[in-house]
Amino acid sequence: MSILKLKPSCKDYIWGGSRLAEEYGKECDKEVIAETWELSCHPDGPSYIVNGPYVGKTLKQYIDIEGRDVLGVNCRRFRDFPILTKFIDAKDNLSIQVHPDNRYALKNEKQYGKTEMWYVMDAGEEAFLYYGFKREVSKEEFAKRIQEDTLLEVLHAVPVQKGDVLFIESGTIHAIGKDILIAEIQQNSNVTYRVYDYGRVGKDGKKRDLHIEKALAVTNRVPIVKGRNSYPHVADCDYFTVDKLNLDGNVMKKLEGNVSGASFASILMLDGEGTISNGNERLSFKKGDSFFLAAGSGTYTVEGSCDALITTIREKAAPVRIGIDIGGTTTKIGLVDIHQQLLACEEMDTDPDRTAEAVIEEIAQRVLGLLERQGILMDQCIGAGIGVPGTVDRKSGIVRYSNNMKWEDVKLAEKIGVYLPIPVRIANDADCAALGEAAAGAGKECQDVIMLTLGTGVGGGIILDGEIYEGKGIGGSELGHMVIVEDGEPCTCGRRGCLEAYVSASALIRDAKRALGKEMTPEEIFAGASGGNEVLKDIVDLYIRRLGIGIVNIVNIFRPQLVLIGGGISAQGENLLGPLREIVKKNCFGGEKGELPEIETAALGKNAGMIGAASLI
């Protein structure tokens, strides 16, 4: 059994009409049919099998029983069934909306984002849809226009007619206008952020929810210059390839196709009637029918007259990003997938006594070797992110100064781009570690995260709205160099009284040596304090108070959801965190009457920098 005829789930959204029932024979117990989900494994609306031994089962149940081989080799890169196919009858205007990309949706919605395409099956004489902005708008103007109900003034209204195709990439603001009938092929997602809805109310009599904050975070506010050229296909992207089949029943009344082991085929009949056959199977079709042909089905034949869309998944590995964490002694290289998981990684000695060119060349060669060993082609990589210690100009891709690396004005992005022909982004290593924790570690449920790394020095990263905050200049944040004691201990930066001069591991070791005359590790110092050594207890208490002062200052300024402690000293766990929480509770402005952040230890360890660097892409 290789041809499955499918019955859709139906949706009765308030803007829908009756054409799908009257003209396409869709059966539903609802008065309005806005959408029919023709090819779907989504739990919000599965499609059902109406022929053969699996009749009555959902498409997902069939796949679960038969195994994922029925989807084809090209679908191995997807965690879930990759696409969702719909018919849409817009009797009235749909809401103005936007869909997030995979990264944002997986983090915030626990499902994929949505890139989609529309094929206009029919449209009224004055029909149009909204597709992006007329001009670039700022985030502030976008938010203001939503609030003031003037958003439509800056949206691009596109007249449409039968046969038009639009490709809507994630992040594109859009809406289907009234009096339009559409076939939609999209990523398998049901995530939509509504920003304007004409003041309509739902079935409960209340205005439908808007999702303004999320929309502000994901919308591309730059006009779409031109449509996506997918020739010779109707549409083609990492998630689906769509081709058009047209048989006029006279000159062209028969077509043979082939479904290889690479991908299943979805055939959506837009118009006409006839038969579809594969081997000994032969089924009739009419307009509106939807068929699924399992991967490896072989030759199939369509006879009669029809317009149809045939959707397959082309060969393309899951998007892979390269994350590189450059350190003064060791550099870590990782391959990261869309789920923020490390696929593979390796380390190399950095040796800062070598020239920057030599280090960069070895890093690039190591990356190429890692890709080769993993069987990943370069064109399957969507970019490389690099974290490097020091002052970094992210916009120009230049390391302005790195004391650890002895680098000055090194064009890192440009130089590594000679070996890796993909987009390259760079940032400070502490910022990357913070971004990694926010993307996949202890802060993955938060948008606003501050991280302090307590090691030889004190590094810090600020993540606001899911992005690295670095201000308008270069260099990013230097949390370790806020002054907490006027004219205090000398700091490595040349000033006195910095947080780093009191709460780095080096500072803790220094204070213990002053008091006891011997070198001790931070672990030994904390252990001695817990064991009753009063001198060490006083040292640890003062250390925690100084760290608490720094955290209080940070919280009063940024009001994050979470403060993370990383670096070697974070291994002290609750011995460190418990007292810090009390200091923050007691000393933060507003105290417990405000929203105090959680204070936790970082979770990713040495992997944070690689994952964070990859997340720059």
- Look at phi and psi of residue 95 and say left if phi exceeds 0, alpha if psi is from -120 to 50, else beta: beta
The single-letter code of the amino acid at 181 is: L
Look at residue 423 and tell me if it is in a domain.
yes
**In terms of C-beta density within 10 A (0-12 exposed, 13-18 middle, 19 or more buried), how is residue 297 classed?**
buried
Q: Are residues 395 and 303 in the same domain?
A: no
Q: Are residues 568 and 455 in the same domain?
A: yes
List CB contacts of 282: < 8 A, sequence separation 6 or more: 275, 276
Look at residue 290 and tell me if it is in a domain.
yes
Q: Are residues 284 and 430 in the same domain?
A: no
Distance separating alpha carbons of residues 41 and 23, to the nearest angstrom: 25
- pLDDT band at 473; cut points 50, 70, 90: low
Q: Are residues 15 and 148 in the same domain?
A: yes
Q: Are residues 379 and 414 in the same domain?
A: yes
Look at residue 422 and tell me if it is in a domain.
yes
Q: Are residues 104 and 126 in the same domain?
A: yes
Listed residue (12, 215, 209, 258) closest to 113, CA to CA: 215
Find which of 19-23, 79-83, 235-239 is predicted with most confidence, using mean pLDDT.
19-23
Domain boundary at 441, 466, 497, which? 441
The pTM for the full model equals 0.60
Q: For residue 283, what is the domain's CATH number? A: 2.60.120.10
Phi, psi of 74 (to 5 degrees): -70, -15
- Which residues, listed in sequence order, are joined to residue 84 by a DSSP beta bridge? 186
The single residue of 77, 103, 145, 194 carrying the catalytic annotation is 194
Distance separating alpha carbons of residues 330 and 327, to the nearest angstrom: 5
Q: Is the pLDDT of residue 131 over 90?
A: yes
Q: Are residues 182 and 214 in the same domain?
A: yes
Whether the Cβ atoms of residue 342 and residue 439 lie closer than 8 Å to each other: no
- pLDDT band at 317; cut points 50, 70, 90: low
Domain boundary at 287, 312, 337, which? 312
Whether the Cβ atoms of residue 214 and residue 191 lie closer than 8 Å to each other: no
- pLDDT band at 1; cut points 50, 70, 90: low
Q: Are residues 391 and 403 in the same domain?
A: yes
Q: Are residues 342 and 275 in the same domain?
A: no
8-state DSSP, 201 = B
Q: Are residues 296 and 332 in the same domain?
A: no
Listed residue (453, 400, 456, 465) closest to 429, CA to CA: 453
Q: Is 194 part of the annotated catalytic residue set?
A: yes
- pLDDT per residue as tens digits for the range 208-259: 889 999 999 999 999 986 555 677 899 998 889 999 999 999 999 999 999 9
Q: Are residues 143 and 97 in the same domain?
A: yes
Structurally, the chain folds into a number of domains equal to 4
Listed residue (44, 31, 292, 34) closest to 178, CA to CA: 34
* Domain hosting residue 303, numbered range: 241-312
- Looking at the chain, how many residues does it have? 617
| Consecutive H or E run containing 510 | helix 505-516
Q: Are residues 220 and 248 in the same domain?
A: no
Domain boundary at 441, 476, 505, which? 441
